[in-house]
Amino acid sequence: MAPQPLTELEIAECLSGLPGWTVRDDRLERGYTLAGHLPAVALLTHVAAVQEELNHHAELTVTYNRLHIAVNTHSVGGRVTELDVQLARRIEEIAPAHGVRS
Ligand SMILES: C[C@H](O)[C@H](O)[C@H]1CNC2=NC(N)=NC(=O)C2=N1
């Protein structure tokens, strides 16, 4: 079944379990600071692998030691859905092993 856009209330509930993540302009977002550029790229590569597994893809931007992630669901016209939340939760699981600083 096609994912449905989450309501404001559903988004607020999801965000309460995802510290550091926000929703801005219909995008679920978070930035991570790492120990340097290569650790930031390593986290990006790990996120990319998770995205392939889930078949759901965020915009990933590396700026020196920062990785910024922004995601929504293209197939529903760029709204936040459960698929975005699922991806964010998976990223939260893998990020600590990369030594994220914030
Ligand atoms: C054909 C393929 O399944 C789709 O294009 C997938 C790929 N990754 C995706 N990623 C995101 N963020 N939204 C989508 O709707 C989406 N759709």
Q: Could you give the domains of the chain?
A: 22-98 (3.30.1360.20)
Kindly give the number of the ligand 1 atom that is closest to the alpha carbon of 75.
15
Q: How far is the CA of 55 from the centre of ligand 1 (A)?
A: 6
pLDDT, tens only, 3-55: 999 999 999 999 999 999 999 999 999 999 999 999 999 999 999 999 999 99
Q: How far is the CA of 83 from the centre of ligand 1 (A)?
A: 10
- Give the span between the Cα atoms of 24 and 70, in whole angstroms: 9
DSSP string of 65-82? TEEEEEE-BGGGTSB--H
3-class SS of residue 28: strand
Per-residue confidence (pLDDT) for residue 101, from 0 to 100 = 87
Q: How far is the CA of 101 from the centre of ligand 1 (A)?
A: 30
- Give the span between the Cα atoms of 64 and 37, in whole angstroms: 5
Residue 71 has pLDDT above 80, yes or no: yes
Kindly give the number of the ligand 1 atom that is closest to the alpha carbon of 71.
12
DSSP state for residue 4 in the 8-state scheme:
-
Per-residue confidence (pLDDT) for residue 91, from 0 to 100 = 98
Per-residue confidence (pLDDT) for residue 102, from 0 to 100 = 79
ipTM of the complex: 0.96
